[in-house]
Amino acid sequence: MVDHISPRASPGPIRSSQTRRARKLRDSCTSCASSKVRCTKEKPACARCIERGLAC
């Protein structure tokens, strides 16, 4: 019986279930994001902020 481990048998780096994920870029304005509604992302102000008279 041989007591050595072949290179193939050695385990590779352990990867967790939460590997690196791409960061989510938030394009929506603060008002739309806080209300959890879709933002039209128009500049200088989105349609929702113009309609409601909010600072965008």
The answer to whether residue 11 is domain-embedded is no
16 within some domain:
no
pLDDT at 52: 95
The total domain count for the chain is 1
13 in a structural domain:
no
Q: What is the CA radius of gyration of the chain?
A: 25
User: Does any domain span residue 37?
Assistant: yes
Q: Determine the pLDDT at residue 24.
A: 72
Q: Is 39 part of a structural domain of the chain?
A: yes
pLDDT tens digits, 1-56: 666 665 666 565 665 666 777 777 778 999 999 999 999 999 999 999 999 999 98
Residue 56: give the domain boundaries: 27-56
What is the helix (H) or strand (E) element at residue 32, kind and residue range?
Answer: helix 30-35
On whether residue 38 sits in a domain, the answer given is yes
pTM over 0.75: no
**Per-residue model confidence (pLDDT) at position 17:** 62
pLDDT attached to residue 49: 96
Rounded CA-CA distance 48/31 in Å is 9
Let me know: does 32 contact 26? Beta carbons within 8 Å: no
CATH of the domain at 51: 4.10.240
